[in-house]
Amino acid sequence: MEIRTVPGGQGWRMTVEREIDFRATRWTPRVDIDIRIRNLFHSEGGMNFWGYNSPEVDRLFEEGASIYDTAKAKVIYDQLQTTLAEDAPFIYLWWGAEYTGVSSRLRNFTQVPDLQLRVRDIWLDK
């Protein structure tokens, strides 16, 4: 293994162009499973830089996205996640804890699981 330090933009370019096989990165979860993991694991996903290709995974994505009933869709997405875990197209080496420090004057702030800041309903008390 060769470890190199490169500027962030260069590292991203090297990842996209498949010049490197490993890159430290950070992902935030999303409520809709299809939004994040389709992008990463569908054979035509926009961030599938490792070239993972599984007709079964692609089929499950299409089937899950076509089901309106969330309980029925969950069964499909559970199968999808099991298949991805078994195939292990990549592995997470580390998942850090998230901490948020806020002023005691901040009102109506909620830390949501997808780690995206929601500012519409927050304000500072005087």
Q: What is the pLDDT of residues 53-90, one digit of tens each?
A: 999 999 999 999 999 999 999 999 999 999 999 999 87
Q: Is 40 left (phi over 0), alpha (psi -120 to 50) or beta?
A: alpha
Q: Minimum mean pLDDT among 41-45, 97-101, 117-121: which range?
A: 97-101
* Residue 76 confidence (pLDDT): 96
Ranges of each domain in the chain: 8-124
* Residue 92 confidence (pLDDT): 72
- Which long-range contacts link 115-121 to residues 24+ away (Cβ below 8 Å)? 115/28, 115/29, 116/28
pLDDT tops 80 at residue 93 = no
CB 41 within 8 A of CB 48: yes
pLDDT tops 80 at residue 22 = no
Query: Which of the four CATH numbers 3.10.105.10, 3.40.640.10, 3.90.550.10, 1.10.260.40 does domain 8-124 have?
Result: 3.10.105.10
* Residue 62 confidence (pLDDT): 96
Kindly state the percentage of the chain with pLDDT values over 70.
91
Average of per-residue pLDDT across 28-36: 74
* Residue 1 confidence (pLDDT): 72
* Residue 23 confidence (pLDDT): 67
Tokens coding 63 = 């089937």
Average of per-residue pLDDT across 1-17: 80
Average pLDDT score, the chain: 85
